[in-house]
Each structure stands twice: as C-alpha cells, then as structure tokens.
C-alpha cells in the first residue's frame, strides 16, 4: 500500500502581475498587491497522486499535503482537503522566511521525515509527489534536493503513471523524447510536468475541508539543518525589469500583406536576430592586473561602482597613492565629498576592499557535459564557450567533466570547443543517465578537484542533476541563467565572483544572484543563449581519468523504454514552418504546414523544413525529430513561422537565434505575439490557405 506526500505551495498569481507589484530597491515582491493561488503544477500533482491511488486500487493509501509558508498558506491546504487530501501539514515559522532552494528543500525534507515517523508510522512505502516547479521560483530545484536530503530516487518531468505488475511505471520528458521508468526502490520523489485532469471540489467537500484540522509545525518541531536566510547558499543582489523584447511584435493586417513582408524580409536579408541575452560587455580584469589599485570598475551593482568612483576621484585629488595614507582627516574629506552616496562604515569597508586583489574563489571553471550515444549535447558546447570567457578573465583553465561509458573519444571535440582539461569518469553503470549514479560520479569529481565555477545546461537532465550535485557538495545553485558575468563586490570582500542573472516570476522580472557559504559557484544556463566558439582543431588539452567506486546499488531507476526522435530533418534550412497543437489533427498539420512549405519553397527558391511544438508531436501530428525547443532542437533559420503555437518558454528558447519570427494564432492574447516580429490574429484554417494563395500571386 503506497502513501502520497504531496508538496503544495502558495504562490502569487503571476498571470495578474502589474508594474508596481515589486519593490525594485529591495527586490522583494509586494505580495499584498497580488492574489495568492495554489501553484498550478502543485494542484496537478495533487490530482496526479489521487489518480495514482485510484489506479493502484488501494483505497487505504493516504494523501498528505504539506506546505511551507506563512500562516495564510493554510488556504492551499484547505484546497487540498477539499479535493483529495486526508491530512495536511503546515510548516510555518518566521525563521523559515527568505529561504533559497536549499533552505526550502532542507526543512521540507525534515518535515517529510516527521510525517513518515508520526503519521505513516514508519511505513516506507510512499511517494513524495511535487509539481515540477513553482511559478514564482521557476527553478525545479526543490524536489531533487529533497530527494538528495532523503537519499531517495528522483523521477522528474513525469507526465503519466501506469500501475503494472504491482508497481508504478512513469513516463517522463527527456531531451529529444520521452522515457518510461520505475523507481528501483521506494520511497521515491516524483515531479509532475503536466497532468490535465483536475480534481474538482464539491460544495460539501469544501465545507468539510473548512472544518478539518490542520497540523502546524514550526522550526523547532522539525530540527532542519538549513533554514531561512542564514541557511541559504545564494542571495539576490538585484532585481530589475526585463529588457524590452528586441522583436518587432507588429500585427499584420492580412495574409496578402504578410506574403509581401515575407518575400521582402527574405530578399533584403535585413532581418535582425534576437539580441544575444548574454552579450558580453567589457571583459573582467582581476584587480591585480588593473592599471591602478583604486580602479574598481567591475563592481556588481551600479551603486557600488559609483561609490568607488567617488572614492578614487577624491583619493586622486588628495594625491593619495597608498592605502596606508588614508588617515582620519582624509576620511572626513572623502565622506564630505561622498554626500549621500556612502557613510563611515561603508567607507571603512571600501578601504578594506581596496586591499583585495586575489579572487575569492580558486580553481578551474567547469562544465558538466551532457551527452548520449557518444554525441555531445549542443548546449555543452555553448557552455564551454562561456566558460572559456569566464576562465580567461579569472586566469584559470576550463575543465569539462564527462561521466559515461567509453566516453573518452568525445574529449577531442570538447578540447576543440575551448576546454583545457577533460575529466573522464568511465563506468558501465554510467552508460545511460541515471540521476543518482551520475550525481555520485560528478559530486565525487567536484569535491576532489574543487573548481570555482560549475556550469550545467538547463536541459531536463541538467536541471535535475545540478540540484542533486550542488546539494550533495554543499554549494549554492542558480537555475536557468541567461547571463553569467564575473564581477567584484569589493565592499563585501568578494573579488572575481560569478554573478548569475535569470528571469524570475514567470519572466516578469530579472534577478541577479550570487553564491554564498559555498566552496564553488554553480549555475544551470539556458540552452541557446550562450555562444559556441568556432571549433579549433589545433587546440590541445589534457585527459584526466577520475575513478569513482560505483555499484548496482547506486543506480536508482529502472529504464523500461526510451523513445527518441528518428529520421532525417534539415533544420539548417533558411525557413522553418512549425505547427502546434492549434493544428488540431495530423491531417490539418499535413495539409496546412505542407502547403505553406511548398508555397514558400516556390516563392523564395530556398529550402523549407517542417517543425513542430512538443504538444503537436505528442498529439502524433508529426515525428519527434521535428520538435523544436528545449527538449527538441534549437534552431536559427532566417524565417520561422509558428502556426497554432502558444509561445511556451520551452518552445521559444529553441528559436531564440531566428532572424524573423512570424506567428499565426487565433487567440489575440497568445503569448507568442509578444515574442515574435510579425503576427496575424487568425484561424490557421482560414489564414494559411490565404497566405499560400497570396504567395502564388505575389
């Protein structure tokens, strides 16, 4: 008999976010300005657990909903009680506030332990079921970190569970396809990526839920080891609005006008690609290499940089060239010149900071390689390009760690891409990706060599592996970065640290984060954002073999079936026409995408390929090899036409490098319209034939 501990979170309703919803000075969201709702994927996780209980045929299995949050978070527990939860636990304490993912996962894991002890009476047959990620954090890190704290198998990105031969088999999303797996032992953690069959509450159930007891625990009850701000391993340095989209976002009146536009754009070739979100500004230089000791032009925030400029200017004016010459009288003069910019304590910190020239972290800049069947994932090459720039600034080497079986032949290509040292962990048990076995291998290599920075691709695999590794080695981790920069915070005694910038709150704000209380700085970076370097076959590097003792017990999952895209596709074509779920069925996809491809091929005299969203592939409209996006292929054609595609982030990051994006969608509020160059609000059934006809006439 299995039990289900479902983690639910109360989140701000980011779909209703307004410009004044957050305080840009402090970076905090003003929660009172937004309604609070249950995180959508967590409500799906509740429904998923309910379905699992039903499918297993065991009515005695308990569903226990657990949340950590302020007292008002009890609303999501009442939501759970009114749907399917039997018991609910609220973990609430002021000391838990301000937590990052480590300081969230840790107390939740300790609360799970207490639930197992006191409510499940040590019955070890249970699943921890979570939504894949929350809309406010968007990190997907907490569930794998809970699994790591509890030493449990973790199955992430699950879309389906099937009860077969007295155990559950889970279908999950992986790069390039899907996989059916089962946990080799229970308990296990699963994260739900999509489950579209909600449980509805009846009036009677809602009334009953309002009367039921909520178990309340505080920090002292669970005795967690990492809590609140002090237990966190990352801190937010600044929050700022996202830059304006570099896309034109122009609505086009009709199909005829669009046909003209497409022909013009293609011929003139003046289309502009979306701006490189991680465009390197000026290259960081270590303080010891700068012309002047007082040059602090690489501070992490504008305010800090300005303060040091004032300080340097005044020191110049006073003719001071040595820090030892700054006596009390000079300090008074500096403070007078600084006015409101900084006060005495800050000045003392800045003077101390001026004495620092060595970087705060030591070691190489590492990339964790992702690969399958001997082929390196394109995102790994992008990360090596970024690691090269970071390592050059820090005057250190780029290391790439490869865990796999017979992986050494990949070393040559990795070195040509910019790596210096390739750390190979070779073991038959690593021949396919298993989260626990790979976590053990990578964590072992990191804690042997201690690089100062470790980068992972923000693919489903990387977003699962990185939280487990970072938690195991006790380091902070920032998810899904779109910008990575080396900067100083001299005032805080931090030199040459990694500033990690990422979208948060559903892309409504950008946050810059740095690592604290950690031996290495770790980040996952969004595929398609960093730039790959042109391969240089003349580069040389070293292969270092690292041995890790692994046994069958280290493997957490049984892989039952893997489905990957097969067949040929030419995503190097100038034009790609993709169909989404809005195509309704395979026939419409064939007819509409096919006719538009033919029309464009004739009109533009160029190669045109078919693409698809993941939803279209899952509906069987076309083979998986045509999938564009995070778990499909990232492409960069001259023109990309999206038909009946909503514009989910996982799709859009696959076309970030496209010159011109065109969308046709019947929903006037489709998110893709804010991320494309030209669009028509219209039904594909009407608009596509009109466009094909217009291309013929044009």
Ligand X SMILES: Cc1cc2nc3c(=O)[nH]c(=O)nc-3n(C[C@H](O)[C@H](O)[C@H](O)COP(=O)(O)OP(=O)(O)OC[C@H]3O[C@@H](n4cnc5c(N)ncnc54)[C@H](O)[C@@H]3O)c2cc1C
Binding site for ligand X (CB under 6 A): 132, 157, 173, 193, 460, 580-582, 613-616, 627-632, 644-646, 648, 650-651, 654, 665-667, 670, 683-685
CA nearest to 4, candidates 58, 62, 77: 62
Which CB sits closer to ligand X, 425 or 616?
Answer: 616
Find the helix or strand (DSSP H, E) in which 356 lies: none
Q: Which of 132, 142, 155 is nearest to 102 (CA)?
A: 142
Interatomic CA distance for residues 509 and 671, integer angstroms: 16
Beta carbon nearer to ligand X, 46 or 652? 652
Strands 126-131 and 3-7: parallel
96: number of Cβ within 10 Å: 24
Crossing angle for the helix pair 344-354 and 328-338, nearest 10 degrees?
110
Phi first, then psi: what are they for 337, rounded to 5°? -70, -30
CB atoms within 10 A of CB 333: 14
Three-point CA angle 219, 511, 451, nearest 5°:
80
CA distances 507 to 244, 482, 514, Å, are 12, 11, 19
For the CB of residue 463, give the shortest distance to ligand X in the complex, in Å. 8
Residue nearer to ligand X on the CB measure, 238 or 502:
502
Sign of CA dihedral 637, 639, 643, 644: positive
Residue 373: CB minimum distance to ligand X, A:
19
Give residue 109's Cα distance to chain centre: 22
CB of residue 195 vs ligand X: minimum separation in angstroms? 11
- If the CB atoms of residues 234 and 578 are measured against ligand X, the closer one turns out to be 578
176: phi > 0 → left, psi -120 to 50 → alpha, else beta; which? left
Q: At closest approach, how far in Å is the CB of 67 from ligand X?
A: 22
Nearest distance from residue 413's CB to ligand X, in Å? 24
- CB neighbour list of residue 246: distance below 8 Å, 6 or more residues apart: 272, 274, 275
| Nearer to ligand X among residue 518 and residue 630 (C-beta) | 630
User: Tokens 């160059």 map to which residue?
Assistant: 677
Q: For ligand X, which is the closer residue by CB, 265 or 631?
A: 631
Q: Residue 282's CB: how many other CB atoms inside 10 A?
A: 7
116: closest CA among 107, 103, 105, 127?
127
- CB 614 to ligand X: min, Å: 3
Closest CB 73 distance from ligand X, rounded Å: 25
Contacts of 367 (CB under 8 A, 6+ apart): 380, 383, 384, 387, 398, 399, 400, 401, 419, 454, 455, 456
Cβ proximity to ligand X: between 92 and 578 the closer is 578
Spatial CA neighbour of 502 closest among 40, 27, 176, 23: 27
How many angstroms separate the CA atoms of 182 and 202, rounded? Answer: 34
Q: Residue 213 Cβ, how far from ligand X at the closest point, in Å?
A: 35
Nearer to ligand X, 274 or 460 (CB): 460
Per-residue CA distances from 438 to 168, 201, 423, 443, 464 (Å): 23, 42, 14, 8, 11
By the 10 Å C-beta count (0-12 exposed, 13-18 middle, 19+ buried), 270 is classed as: exposed
Nearer to ligand X by Cβ, of 458 and 530: the residue is 458
- Contact between 575 and 607 under an 8 Å Cβ cutoff? The reply is yes
For residue 681, the minimal CB distance to ligand X (Å) is 9
Helices (H), 406-515: 411-416, 435-449, 460-473
How many angstroms separate the Cα of 387 from the Cα of each of 290, 484, 529, 556, 686?
Answer: 22, 9, 13, 31, 48
HEC string of 45-67?
A: HHHHHHHHHHHHCCCCCCEEEEE
Question: Where is 82: in which H helix or E strand?
Answer: helix 74-83
| Minimal distance, residue 56 CB to ligand X, in Å | 25
- Name the minimum Å distance from CB 617 to ligand X: 8
Rounded least distance, CB 642 to ligand X, Å: 8
Q: Which is nearer to ligand X, 421 or 633 (CB)?
A: 633
Output 514 or 569, the one with its CB closest to ligand X.
Answer: 569
Nearer to ligand X, 224 or 616 (CB): 616
C-beta closer to ligand X: residue 62 or 377: 377
Rounded to the nearest whole angstrom, what is the least distance from the CB of residue 173 to ligand X in the complex? 5
- In the block, tokens 């990620």 appear at 133
User: Least CB distance from residue 366 to ligand X, whole Å?
Assistant: 24
Select 525 or 670, whichever has its Cβ closest to ligand X.
670
CB of 126 to ligand X, least distance (A): 24
| CA angle at 639 for the pair 637 and 641, rounded to the nearest 5° | 115
Q: Closer CB to ligand X, residue 417 or residue 641?
A: 641
């Amino acid at each position: 008999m299995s039990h289900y501990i479902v983690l639910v979170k109360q989140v701000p309703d980011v779909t209703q976010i307004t410009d004044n919803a957050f305080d840009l000075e402090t970076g905090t969201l003003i929660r009172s300005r937004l309604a609070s709702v249950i995180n959508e994927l967590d409500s799906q996780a509740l429904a998923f657990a309910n379905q699992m209980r039903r499918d297993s045929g065991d009515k005695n299995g308990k569903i226990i909903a657990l949340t950590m949050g302020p007292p008002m978070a009890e609303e999501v527990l009442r939501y759970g009680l009114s749907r399917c939860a039997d018991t609910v636990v609220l973990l609430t304490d002021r000391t838990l506030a301000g937590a990052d993912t480590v300081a969230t996962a840790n107390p939740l894991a300790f609360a799970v332990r207490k639930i197992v002890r006191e409510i499940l009476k040590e019955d070890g047959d249970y699943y921890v079921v979570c939504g894949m990620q929350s809309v406010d954090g968007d990190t997907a890190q907490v569930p794998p970190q809970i699994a790591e704290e509890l030493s449990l198998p973790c199955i992430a990105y699950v879309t389906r569970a099937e009860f077969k031969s007295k155990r559950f088999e889970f279908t999950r999303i992986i790069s390039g396809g899907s996989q059916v797996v089962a946990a080799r032992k229970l308990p296990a953690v699963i994260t739900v990526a999509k489950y579209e069959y909600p449980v509805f509450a009846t009036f009677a159930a809602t009334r009953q839920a309002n009367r039921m007891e909520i178990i309340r625990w505080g920090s002292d009850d669970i005795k967690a080891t990492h809590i609140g701000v002090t237990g966190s391993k990352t801190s937010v340095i600044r929050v700022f609005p996202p830059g304006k989209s570099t896309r034109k976002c122009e609505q086009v009146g009709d199909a005829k006008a669009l046909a003209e536009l497409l022909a013009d754009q293609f011929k003139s070739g003046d289309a502009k690609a979306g701006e490189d979100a991680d465009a390197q500004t000026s290259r960081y230089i270590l303080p010891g290499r700068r012309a002047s000791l007082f040059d602090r032009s690489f501070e992490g925030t504008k305010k800090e940089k300005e303060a040091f400029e004032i300080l340097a200017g005044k020191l110049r004016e006073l003719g001071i060239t040595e820090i030892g010459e700054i006596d009390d009288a000079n300090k008074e003069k500096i403070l007078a010149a600084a006015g409101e910019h900084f006060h005495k304590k800050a000045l003392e910190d800045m003077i101390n900071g001026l004495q620092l020239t060595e970087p705060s972290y030591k070691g190489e800049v590492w990339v964790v390689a992702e690969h399958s069947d001997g082929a390196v994932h394109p995102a790994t090459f992008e990360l090596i390009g970024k690691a090269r720039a970071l390592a050059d600034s820090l005057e250190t080497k780029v290391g790439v760690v490869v865990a796999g079986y017979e992986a050494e032949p990949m070393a040559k290509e990795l070195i040509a891409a910019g790596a210096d040292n390739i750390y190979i962990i070779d073991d038959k048990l690593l021949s396919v990706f298993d989260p626990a076995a790979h976590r053990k291998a990578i964590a072992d290599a990191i804690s042997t060599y201690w690089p100062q920075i470790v980068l992972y691709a923000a693919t489903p695999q990387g977003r699962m592996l990185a939280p487990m590794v970072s938690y195991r080695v006790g380091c902070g981790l920032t998810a899904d970065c779109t910008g990575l920069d080396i900067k100083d915070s001299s005032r805080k005694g931090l030199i040459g640290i990694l500033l990690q910038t990422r979208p948060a709150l559903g892309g409504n704000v950008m946050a810059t984060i740095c690592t604290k209380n950690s031996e290495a700085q770790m980040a996952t970076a969004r595929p398609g954002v960093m730039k790959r370097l042109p391969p240089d076959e003349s580069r040389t590097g070293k292969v270092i073999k690292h041995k890790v003792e692994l046994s069958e017990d280290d493997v957490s999952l049984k892989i039952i079936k893997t489905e990957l895209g097969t067949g040929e596709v030419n995503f190097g074509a100038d034009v790609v026409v993709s169909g989404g779920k809005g195509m309704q069925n395979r026939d419409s996809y064939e007819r509409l995408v096919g006719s538009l491809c033919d029309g464009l091929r004739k009109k533009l005299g160029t190669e045109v390929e078919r693409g698809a969203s993941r939803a279209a592939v899952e509906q069987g409209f076309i083979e998986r090899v045509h999938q564009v996006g995070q778990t499909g292929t990232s492409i960069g054609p001259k023109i990309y036409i999206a038909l009946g595609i909503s514009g989910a982030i996982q799709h859009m990051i696959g076309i970030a490098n496209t010159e011109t994006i065109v969308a046709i969608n019947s929903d006037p509020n489709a998110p893709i319209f804010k991320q494309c160059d030209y669009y028509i609000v219209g039904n594909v059934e009407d608009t596509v034939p009109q466009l094909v006809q217009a291309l013929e006439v044009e």
